Every structure is written in structure tokens, then in C-alpha cells.
Amino acid sequence: MIERRRTRQIHVGAVAVGGDAPISVQSMTITKTADVEGTLQQIYGLAAAGCDIVRCTCNEGAAAEGLAEIVPRSPVPIIADIHHQYRMALAALEAGVQGLRLNPGNIRKPEHIKAVAAEARDRNVPIRIGVNGGSLDPALYERHGGLTAEAMVESARQELAYFAEVDFDLVKISVKASNVPLMVEAYRQLAEVTDVPLHLGVTEAGPPPAGLVKATAGISTLLLEGIGDTIRYSLTADPIEEARAGRQLLEALGLRERKNVDLIACPSCGRAEIDVIDVANRALEAFGERKLPLQVAVMGCVVNGPGEAREADLGIAAGNKRGHLFVKGRNVAVVPEDEMVDALVEWAEFINEHGVDAAIARADTTRAEREAARDRSALLQSQGTDVNHADEKIVEIRKTVH
């Protein structure tokens, strides 16, 4: 279990952030906010993919007007993204947004910052101080000799001081950078000096798969240390991918309950009776967005498959042109190879509705286990117990080292 750093709690609309609240997933629309219907369509797609909070740009009057129509129709809280013009923040608040994001590198006049904070205070709307390594105040660059973790943390603390002057404390903070070690160090330093909730992200991570790797490296490192209250994957991709990645990461770390299928699969070997990659991909496509919070395994052979995936709720292993279904490691059915994926979906839906015990109870486990044993025996006879010829290699190794 990950012991999370305890932070104060705020609320973005109905979503609690910090304290003992679940870590939330955020993303951002890429539509023009003035396009109300297009933006709402994307927001609904993000919510369906597991997004808890959505950010929309508010860079012009038409965007603020769009927010006034979007906010009451959105299924999740909306945060307005503000950059250079503080009046856009005031307009977004008037539109009814549930949160603001301010970049202290872009709005620098103290009187403007405090004007927004005071209005947010009166409306009970939280603000994220969104420090970004690519838009740090030049004065901080000069003072710290470049972009450093110390400079980013100082930027956040300066903004906090302005907020304190108007008695505003509904705050969360991010100190994002595109350099992963820098980002991690900045958050670690920030966590030492404040109990404000932290929003994690690697900014400008880039397109998948490299962007996914980079973002995961930074975000998961901090989450495993107990740092972080809300996250965003900043990918050069459809924002739906950001929401899915964030949700999947939290589920993988045990920080959120599983919402969709967690599909595991063996890496394949010489014993595999099927194209594991193909079957796994077809299974992923078949499960799609079905809300089945189960772990499902696709294994290449019946020799080790059920045992290696015994903790999975449901799995299938190939053998002798057939698929052997197993539930919690117990063989429950045998199906033709071309029906493997359909059978997985059918059994997953049954388990989700009726439970594992009911699934096992409805099966002819005696027959299924007998058929699995027969196929295991046949596979071992045809390929041997040492399909990758390790015994022969060991003999040669011993000749070499002795």
C-alpha cells in the first residue's frame, strides 16, 4: 500500500482534491471553447474515459461566453485555463466555472493576481497555481541561474503569498517541466514546504508511445512516494488517451478502484499455440469501453498459463487448437480457438453480474480440467518440457566456464 502525503482538502465542484480523497484524473479539451457543442462532446467523451475534471481554455470573450453554456451542461467540473489576460479569469468566474488555472509566469502584476484571488474567494472557487518550466518569470531565471527546481518552487510560493494577502487559500499547485528529473525534484521540494494539494504532470510530454513513457516516469515516481492529489498526462494526442492513461495508471498502482478490464497477457515463447499479440489486441478491442472491472488474462499455452495467471478473475489459454477458459485458476470451459475472444467477453459479463463463485458453479469443471490436462500432456509430448532448449544450453555453458 502506498502511504500518501496528507494535504489539505479543497473541492473542484463536487470533486474533492487532497486529504483522503481519491487521486483525480484531469485532461483538457482541444476544441475552441466558443464551439459549445463540440466542446461538450469532447467533455462527455473524456468523462466516459475516466476523467474527473476537465480544463477548457478561456483566452477570449467568446470562450468565456461559451463557458457560460458549457458549465451547466457538463458531467464533470470545468476549470478555466487562463494565461496572459487576468480579465479572462474574472469572466470565467462570472461564467460559473468550478476552478481556475493561473500561470504565474504569464500574469505577473500583483494587483491583477490579487484581484482574481479575491473574486475566487468570494465565489468559493479554487485556483491552481500552474507553474510551467517553459514560461517561468525571467526574474526567477536570472536569480537562480536558469530553470531549476528551486526557481519553480519559488514561483509557486510567490503566488501563494499574493493569495494570502487577500485571505485566499483554496489552492492546488503544479510545478511542471518537460524534463522528468527536474519535474520530480521540483515536486519533492514543494511537498516539503507546503500542505497544499499537488497536481502532477510532465508538461509537453509529446506523442505516444514516448510521451506515455515520459509522463508515466514522472507521475508514477511521485505517486509511489505518496506525493500527488490529481494528475494529467500532457500528450500530443487525442485527450481521450490522456484520460485513459491517467485512469489506468491509478488503477495499476492500486490508487483507484478498477473501472474497466485490466488485460494481462504472457510475452509468448516457443510453446505458444496462438499469436498471443493478435488475440490480446482483439480482446482489448472487444472489451472496449465496457465497464467490467475485472482482470482478464490471455495466455499462449495450457502448460503454464492457468497457473501463471491464477490470480486473474478470468483467463484463457490456448492448446490443441482450442481455448481453455479458467476462472481464478480453475478450468471451467473449452471453446474452439476462433471463439476465444467471444467467450472471454461472455464470461466476463457473467462474472461481473453474478460473481466468480456463480461462474464456477455453472461450469462442468471436471470435464474442463480433464480436457486441459489432456492438451497439456499432448503439448509436452510434442514439444518437450524444455521447449527453449535450456538444458542443452546449460551443458554448453558448463563446458565454457569449467
CATH number at residue 353: 3.30.413.10
Q: Residue 303: its pLDDT value, please?
A: 64
Give me 273's grid cell.
499455440
Q: Side by side, which strands form the sheet with 322-327? A: 262-265, 295-299, 314-319, 322-327, 330-336
On whether both 234 and 289 belong to a single domain, the answer is no
110-138 tens-digit pLDDT: 999 999 999 999 999 999 999 998 889 89
On whether both 234 and 266 belong to a single domain, the answer is no
On whether both 248 and 312 belong to a single domain, the answer is no
288-332 tens-digit pLDDT: 878 899 999 988 876 666 676 778 899 988 776 788 888 998 888
Give me 32's grid cell.
475552441
On whether both 283 and 198 belong to a single domain, the answer is no
Q: Determine which helix (DSSP H) or strand (DSSP E) holds 371, and give its type and residue range.
A: helix 365-383
- Range of 190's domain? 10-252
On whether both 180 and 266 belong to a single domain, the answer is no
The region of weakest confidence among 84-93, 137-146, 286-295 is 286-295
Residues 355 and 102: their CA atoms lie apart, in Å, by 47
Q: Residue 276: its pLDDT value, please?
A: 82
Q: Residue 366: its pLDDT value, please?
A: 85
Q: How confident is the model at residue 387 (pLDDT cuts 50, 70, 90)?
A: low
236 within a domain of the structure (yes/no): yes
| Three-class secondary structure assignment of 119-160 | HHHHHCCCEEEEEEHHHCCHHHHHHHCCCCHHHHHHHHHHHH
Number of domains in the chain: 2
258-281 tens-digit pLDDT: 888 888 888 767 666 678 888 889
Q: Residue 312: its pLDDT value, please?
A: 87
| Mean pLDDT calculated for residue range 78-91 | 96
398 within a domain of the structure (yes/no): no
Indicate yes or no: pTM above 0.75: yes
2 within a domain of the structure (yes/no): no
Residue where a domain terminates, one of 252, 281, 297: 252
Q: Residue 86: its pLDDT value, please?
A: 96
Q: Residue 13: its pLDDT value, please?
A: 98
CB 246 within 8 A of CB 38: no
Residues 256 and 259: their CA atoms lie apart, in Å, by 8
On whether both 39 and 178 belong to a single domain, the answer is yes
Residues 345 and 176: their CA atoms lie apart, in Å, by 40
The phi, psi pair for 120, rounded to 5°, reads -65, -40
- For cell 478491442, the residue is 285
More confident residue, 32 or 301: 32
On whether both 229 and 312 belong to a single domain, the answer is no
365 within a domain of the structure (yes/no): yes
- For cell 506525493, the residue is 227
Q: Residue 363: its pLDDT value, please?
A: 85
On whether both 235 and 267 belong to a single domain, the answer is no
On whether both 224 and 277 belong to a single domain, the answer is no
Query: What 8-state DSSP symbol labels residue 367?
Result: H
Q: Residue 305: its pLDDT value, please?
A: 63
Residue where a domain terminates, one of 210, 230, 252: 252
Domain of 179, CATH number, reads: 3.20.20.20
On whether both 147 and 202 belong to a single domain, the answer is yes
Residues 21 and 400: their CA atoms lie apart, in Å, by 59
Residue where a domain terminates, one of 252, 286, 316: 252
